[in-house]
Amino acid sequence: MKFTVKLGDLDKQRKTSLIVGVTEKGELSPSAKRLDKTSQNFISKLLKKGDFQGKIGSTLLLPSVPHIQADHILLAGCGETLTVNERDFRRIVSSSIKALSSSSASHAVSYLAELQMDGHDLAWRVKQTVEIFVDTLYCFQQYKSKKSTAPALKELTIAIADKKALSACEKALKQGIAIAENVSYTKNLANQPSNICTPSYMAEQAKKLAKEYKAISTKVLEEKDMRKLGMGAFLAVAKGSAQAPKLVCIEYKGTAKKQAPIALVGKGITFDTGGISLKPADAMVGMKYDMCGSATVLGTIKAAADLKLPIHIVGILALAENMPSGVATKPEDIVTTLSGQTVEILNTDAEGRLVLCDALTYCERYKPAVVIDIATLTGAVVVALGHHATGLLSNNDKLAKDLLHAGIQSHDRAWQLPLWEEYQEQLRSPFADMSNTGGRMGGTITAACFLSRFTKKFTWAHLDVAGTAAMMGGTDRYATGRPVPLLTQYLINQCEK
């Protein structure tokens, strides 16, 4: 796929399809107006006849428009006005791309960046257009014996009218490409079934990145290393599985300056059966996606490397498979974590926090400036926030604010939940320093409370992506690649400070 931004009117271009917006009231966007004039009112006549309603998400493909050299004009419905909000913009662009992808069009010019928005500039629309384009055409069919034919659509030119904004738009285009490509990379990892995507497979992917990028290096800790270190909680999760656990440390050094790194810690449960606290069959479907946190760490680091961001990042992947077996961890087993604190494992299905707590303690040796963990940690966050917002909890308001802001900028949004002391009580155990579950009430918060006991030494935020990283259950199951856009934007912002 190839993307460019170009200034001015590209109406005369041949072998292309031009995308323009029109409203329900028959209002034409500036480019639609221009094309209407050239085509001797072809568009306005057609609208007057009632051939196109202009509803958001609707499109009309017009081949061979009189006096127009392009192969097609695609009318994109913009709803009531030519000023749209984020959600509408995304729907308009996405439905246009979908419509063109089922035509013969191989090249398109989008004039949709000229739609007006409150709160976002032209560069934002350029960046989002690239991301939406790639997201809309994404398709994972590695395991289909009959592959559907790829759409002809391979090139997109985003037309802009404002000359002063050109360099900002070119930069936005580059960022959009890096984010879009690594969202796809992350989806590809997440969509692999767990018989392929094991902890070893994920470790191999991390090593592959070290081969591909000079600024990336990868180190893998094996089970015996973790035992020597004393990662009792991590190993308790892996104990029931035939798959060896791995702790991957992947480092990106984009600057020669000595800089305290930003640490990204990803939950990487390649399959979560629940262990001895076995999940019911229906709830188990989708649990191949329990490694999305780890996939996000790799995708974000790769995006930073593609953009050559002058920043230092450490990625930690906590990789294991959660299985029941004769040697698996049982409810009420007590383990000692790397931090020295003891945990009574009341529910083996609360395994994410067990691998993460040791990975977080391990992080200390990098003396990170901030630590962000990403985890499909609780079903409770899906109950609280549904599939639209990532749950955010933090021990530092500035970091929380920065992440919320990056989420708004990238339209990969998060919502903060409280991390008050009061909730900590729910983790009491009569036998160990704490239990690994806090009951049904405030499940996302008590999970974060558990993690907070291992992050006292640094500025830390937790992203619970159980509702946003993938859609699980039902026939429509897919990875979204979130929160790669949020985190990449956060890193970009850190570099621009």
The answer to the question of residue 321 lying near ligand BES (CB under 6 A) is no
From residue 332 to residue 351, what is the string marking binding to Mn ion with x (rule CB under 5 A)?
-----------------x-x
Quick one: which segment of 54-62, 217-225, 283-291, 476-484 binds Zn ion (CB under 5 A)? 283-291
CA pair distance 300, 401, nearest whole angstrom: 20
The answer to the question of residue 328 lying near ligand BES (CB under 6 A) is no
Buried b (16+ CB within 10 A) or exposed e, 361-394: bbbbebebebbbbbbbbbbbbbebbeeebbbbbb
Of 272, 306, 344, 412, the one binding Zn ion (CB under 5 A) is 272
| Residue number closest to Mn ion, CB atom | 349
CA pair distance 192, 92, nearest whole angstrom: 30
The answer to the question of residue 272 lying near Mn ion (CB under 5 A) is yes
Q: How far is the CB of 294 from Zn ion (least distance, A)?
A: 12
- Total residues in contact with ligand BES, by rule CB under 6 A: 17
Closest CA to 448 of 391, 400, 385: 391
Residue 201 · residue 271 · CB < 8 Å: no
From residue 376 to residue 415, what is the string marking binding to ligand BES with x (rule CB under 6 A)?
xxxxx-x---------------------------------
Instruction: Tell the burial category of 241 from Cβ atoms under 10 Å away from its Cβ (0-12, 13-18, 19+).
Output: buried
The answer to the question of residue 290 lying near Zn ion (CB under 5 A) is yes
The answer to the question of residue 472 lying near ligand BES (CB under 6 A) is yes
Site for ligand BES in 432-461 (CB under 6 A): 437, 443
Site for Mn ion in 205-244 (CB under 5 A): none
User: Which of the following is catalytic: 90, 246, 353, 453?
Assistant: 353
Residue 229 · residue 312 · CB < 8 Å: no
Q: How far is the CB of 290 from ligand BES (least distance, A)?
A: 5
Nearer to ligand BES (CB atom), residue 320 or residue 370: 320
Q: How far is the CB of 194 from ligand BES (least distance, A)?
A: 13
Quick one: which segment of 98-106, 248-256, 264-272, 476-484 binds Zn ion (CB under 5 A)? 264-272
- Tally the residues of the chain: 497
Residue 465 · residue 392 · CB < 8 Å: no
Q: How far is the CB of 452 from ligand BES (least distance, A)?
A: 16
CA pair distance 97, 53, nearest whole angstrom: 18
Residue 360 · residue 352 · CB < 8 Å: no
CA pair distance 243, 377, nearest whole angstrom: 21
Nearer to ligand BES (CB atom), residue 376 or residue 489: 376
Site for ligand BES in 153-172 (CB under 6 A): none
Q: How far is the CB of 277 from ligand BES (least distance, A)?
A: 7
- Total residues in contact with Mn ion, by rule CB under 5 A: 3
Q: Nearest 5°: CA angle at 247, between 426 and 197?
A: 100
Q: Where are the alpha helices (DSSP H) in 198-266?
A: 199-212, 223-229, 232-238
User: Which of the following is catalytic: 207, 279, 330, 457?
Assistant: 279
The number of CA neighbours under 13 Å toward the Cβ of 422 is: 4
Nearer to Zn ion (CB atom), residue 134 or residue 287: 287
In the list Mn ion, ligand BES, Zn ion, none, the entry touching 437 (Cβ below 5 to 8 angstroms by class) is ligand BES
The answer to the question of residue 272 lying near ligand BES (CB under 6 A) is yes
Closest CA to 123 of 90, 177, 165: 165
Mutual angle of helices 484-496 and 166-191, in 10-degree steps: 140
Residue 293 · residue 451 · CB < 8 Å: no
Site for Mn ion in 349-368 (CB under 5 A): 349, 351
Euclidean distance between the first and the last CA atom of the chain, given in angstroms as a whole number: 32
187 catalytic? Reply is: no
Of 350, 357, 449, 484, the one binding ligand BES (CB under 6 A) is 350
CA pair distance 351, 287, nearest whole angstrom: 12
The 10 Å Cβ neighbour count of residue 184 is 21
Of 74, 75, 233, 466, the one binding ligand BES (CB under 6 A) is 466
The answer to the question of residue 321 lying near Zn ion (CB under 5 A) is no
14 catalytic? Reply is: no
Binding residues for Mn ion (CB under 5 A): 272, 349, 351
Binding residues for ligand BES (CB under 6 A): 272, 290, 347, 349-352, 376-380, 382, 437, 443, 466, 472
Binding residues for Zn ion (CB under 5 A): 269, 272, 290, 352
What are the residue numbers of the active site? 279, 353
